[in-house]
Amino acid sequence: MKKVIFTTILLLTFCGNIFAQSVTMQANKSSRFSAQRITYGGTFGGSFTTNTSAITIAPQVGYNFTDQFNAGVGIRYSYLNFNNGASNEKNHYAGFNIYGRTKILQFLLLQVQPEINHVWWTVDNLGDKTSGTEFVPSLIVGAGFWHQNVYAMFYYDLVQNQRSPYGNTIGYSVGFSF
4 forms beta bridges with none
Total count of domains within the chain? 1
Most confident stretch, 4-13, 20-29, 145-154: 145-154
Range of the structural domain that residue 147 is part of: 2-28+37-177
pLDDT (tens digit, 9 = 90+) per residue, 44-84? 888 899 999 999 999 999 999 998 999 999 999 999 999 98
* pLDDT attached to residue 30: 57
pLDDT (tens digit, 9 = 90+) per residue, 99-117? 999 999 889 999 999 999 9
Residue 3 has pLDDT above 70, yes or no: no
Q: What is the mean pLDDT of residues 154-176?
A: 90
User: The dihedral of CA 26, 28, 34, 39: what is its sign?
Assistant: negative
pTM assigned to the model: 0.76
CATH number at residue 19: 2.40.160.20
* pLDDT attached to residue 31: 65
Q: In which band, very low, low, confident or very high, does the pLDDT at 22 lie, cut at 50, 70 and 90?
A: very low
